[in-house]
Amino acid sequence: MGSKADLLQGTLDLIVLRVLSLGPKHGYGIATRIRQISEDVLQVNQGSLYPALLRLEQRGWIKSYWGTTDTGREAKFFELTRAGRKQLAVESENWERVKGAIGRLMEAVE
């Protein structure tokens, strides 16, 4: 088995929301952060990040603005909205349930 896992569609949304709950970030920042937190296990295809960001923005969970990075470069920043925070709570709960279910399933099979 390789060390890098593909991301499920719904999971990417959850991860992006979770990363942004720590504060506004630009696209590159989000990708880097995901890799760092997952200790290089989760590798986001950086191209597919942008449609996902657009989808979240269309749903009203995040909003974007143009800002400047630490190095003085112009980039688009994303931050959670109030609806986004609620959604993160809902999705985290879902995730816990799924995780628990899969964990029990794995134990039972073993």
Task: Write out the residues near another protein by the rule CB under 8 A.
Answer: 26-29, 31-32, 45-48, 50-51, 54-55, 57-60, 69, 71, 73-76
For the record, the structure tokens of 13 come out as: 């949304």
For the record, the structure tokens of 82 come out as: 């109030």
The nearer residue to another protein, 46 or 94, going by C-beta atoms, is 46
The nearer residue to another protein, 51 or 100, going by C-beta atoms, is 51
> CA-to-CA distance for 102 and 28, rounded, in angstroms?
31
The nearer residue to another protein, 36 or 103, going by C-beta atoms, is 36
Give least dist CB 32 to another protein, A: 8
